[in-house]
């Protein structure tokens, strides 16, 4: 079987690292802000919180003629009252979740169309559909990602490129590690399964979406939340 070529953005995060593990044996181009990935790849550093350019992405991908998948995992939590959110924090959220994603897709789409199984997978959040108090801006950006996924799936359907999102609930990792024991217990008390989502669960679904058997799954926001429909 021919080697696949994937572009994994946000490779050093909890979910990105788990997805990267699923791609072992494939040709992977990875992107992160400051941290090196844990697995073998052609790695590039890029700060997605600033306004990137199409040229930035071309420099990363020009060495690859065909891409079989773009997996987008970056995200930065933003807690606080809506009226207290600074414009700088707003711009950072927009750049990471929406603007940079759109630019990456624009640049690599011709390469995805050359694949027999081109895939775009965006890791969003449960809050992109339900909304979250004290996380209004974050939720709005994740909601924008969901709408982009649904719209692009329709637009690109005839090309063979599929576009889907995975919307996890509370994922165990750096965010939950920062919680106090009391706060973590309160979070677990709200979850139907009384457990956190493991990054590997999200990565396993992403790996399936990259397979040829998933070609009829298109425009979906796939929830991994243990029944936590808030």
Q: Which residues contact 178 (CB under 8 A, 6 or more apart)?
A: none
Nearest to 113 by CA among 152, 55, 170, 76: 152
DSSP assignment letter at 137: H
DSSP assignment letter at 197: B
Q: Compute the Cα dihedral for 61, 156, 130, 207 and give only its sign.
A: negative
Distance of alpha carbon 38 from alpha carbon 40, whole angstroms: 7
**Catalytic residue list contains 138:** yes
Task: Copy the structure tokens of residue 124.
Answer: 């969003």
Choose the catalytic residue: 6, 138, 208, 229.
Answer: 138
Nearest to 198 by CA among 166, 228, 224: 224
Tell me the β-bridge partners of 43: 30
Nearest to 160 by CA among 123, 114, 206: 114
Residues with a catalytic annotation lie at 138
């Amino acid at each position: 079987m021919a080697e696949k070529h994937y572009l994994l953005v946000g490779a050093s995060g909890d979910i990105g690292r788990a997805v990267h593990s699923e791609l072992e044996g494939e040709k992977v181009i990875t992107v992160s802000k400051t941290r090196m990935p844990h697995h073998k790849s052609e790695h590039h550093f890029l700060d997605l919180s600033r306004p990137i350019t199409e040229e930035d992405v071309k420099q990363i991908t020009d060495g690859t003629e065909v891409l079989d998948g773009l997996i987008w995992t970056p995200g930065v939590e933003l807690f606080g009252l809506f009226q207290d959110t600074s414009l700088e924090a707003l711009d950072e959220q927009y750049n990471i979740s929406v603007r940079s994603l759109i630019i990456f897709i624009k640049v690599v789409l011709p390469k995805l169309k050359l694949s027999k199984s081109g895939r775009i997978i965006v890791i969003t959040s449960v809050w992109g559909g339900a909304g979250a108090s004290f996380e209004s801006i974050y939720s709005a950006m994740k909601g924008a990602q969901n709408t982009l996924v649904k719209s692009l799936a329709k637009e690109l359907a005839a090309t063979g490129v599929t576009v889907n999102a995975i919307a996890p609930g509370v994922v165990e990792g750096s965010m939950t590690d920062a919680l106090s024991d009391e706060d973590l217990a309160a979070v677990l008390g709200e979850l139907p399964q009384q457990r956190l989502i493991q990054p590997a669960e999200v990565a396993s679904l992403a790996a399936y979406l990259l397979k040829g058997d998933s070609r009829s799954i298109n425009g979906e926001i796939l929830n991994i939340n243990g029944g936590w429909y808030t």
